[in-house]
């Protein structure tokens, strides 16, 4: 890959300082160790008050619209939210409700969450993964959950959590690199007017397959 990978992170936290922000920072730090990236972090603490009462994208202030466009054109998304009442924060969802339904198709997404309790770790699988499944995004196979005892104040104090982040990135790398290369190849072909070779062999002539007899 020639250009740096454009990574956009969204933190659903409503507080500053924030453990979710700390988790995101560590994910970005580790991503930077293995990939050439440029990163941008969107914090709901910063922009939440600017869109909380807005119901229609056309009425959003420019600043929020610009952040949405960065999300919609990212090569890789890193999304993380604190658990609030067993789900992501309401404003995290409200932000993604403005995202175009098809803008994240095939975009790799690393899922993360922080919670007060270990018992809510399945938020990643039961709340975040279906949301990004709706967008037809490529959610990376391993998500990251951090809870109270993984932190010493606002510092990660858990080698296991750091290892989990490393695993999430390592397992996600094939998806990340193949999706980015493919999207760039198609974009360049379209820009130069070349036909887009799908790389897939032509299909065999269709035969009728009876699934039920
Ligand atoms: C309104 C509210 C609801 C919460 N609900 C849950 C919950 O259902 N499960 C959980 O494990 N932690 C819950 N927590 C704890 C937060 O998820 C946890 O402290 C998180 O790490 C805070 O992240 P932040 O520092 O980025 O804001 C809740 C906290 C608040 C303020």
Q: What is the pLDDT of residues 12-51, one digit of tens each?
A: 999 999 999 999 999 999 999 999 999 999 999 999 999 9
pLDDT at 194 (0 to 100): 84
Residue 26 domain flag = yes
Ligand 1 within 6 A of CB of 151: no
pLDDT at 211 (0 to 100): 47
pLDDT at 200 (0 to 100): 55
| Structural domain boundaries, residue 91 | 5-191
Centroid of ligand 1 to alpha carbon of 82 (angstroms)? 5
Residue 200 domain flag = no
CA–CA separation, 16 and 206 (whole Å): 58
Domain count, the chain: 1
Residue 35 domain flag = yes
Residue 197 domain flag = no
Centroid of ligand 1 to alpha carbon of 92 (angstroms)? 13
CATH for 79:
3.40.50.360
User: What mean pLDDT is reported for the chain?
Assistant: 93
Instruction: Supply the residue whose CA is at minimum distance from atom 24 of ligand 1.
Output: 18
Residue 208 domain flag = no
pLDDT at 185 (0 to 100): 86
Residue 203 domain flag = no
Hey, which of 80, 116, 120, 155 would you mutate to test ligand 1's pocket, going by the most ligand atoms within 8 Å of its Cβ?
A: 116
State the pLDDT confidence band at 154, using cuts at 50, 70 and 90.
very high
CA–CA separation, 27 and 169 (whole Å): 8
Ligand 1 within 6 A of CB of 120: yes
pLDDT at 210 (0 to 100): 53
pLDDT at 131 (0 to 100): 98
pTM for the model stands at 0.91
Q: What is the pLDDT of residues 166-191, one digit of tens each?
A: 999 999 999 999 998 888 888 888 88
């Amino acid at each position: 890959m020639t250009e740096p990978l454009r990574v956009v992170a969204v933190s659903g936290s409503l507080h500053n300082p924030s453990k979710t922000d700390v988790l995101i920072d560590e994910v970005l730090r580790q991503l930077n160790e293995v990939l050439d990236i440029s990163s941008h972090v969107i914090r709901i603490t910063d922009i939440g008050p600017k869109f909380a009462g807005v119901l229609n994208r056309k009425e959003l202030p420019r600043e929020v619209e610009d952040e949405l466009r960065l999300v919609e054109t990212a090569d890789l998304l890193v999304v993380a939210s604190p658990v609030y009442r067993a789900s992501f924060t309401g404003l995290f969802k409200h932000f993604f409700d403005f995202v175009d339904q098809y803008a994240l198709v095939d975009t790799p997404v690393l899922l993360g969450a922080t919670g007060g309790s270990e018992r809510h770790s399945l938020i990643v699988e039961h709340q975040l993964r279906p949301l990004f499944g709706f967008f037809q995004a490529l959610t990376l196979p391993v998500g990251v959950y951090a809870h109270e005892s993984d932190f010493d104040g606002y510092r990660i104090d858990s080698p296991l959590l750091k290892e989990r982040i490393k695993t999430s990135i390592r397992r996600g790398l094939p998806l990340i690199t193949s999706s980015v290369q493919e999207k760039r190849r198609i974009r360049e072909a379209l820009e130069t007017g070349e036909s887009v070779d799908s790389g897939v062999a032509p299909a065999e002539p269709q035969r009728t397959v009876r699934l039920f007899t």
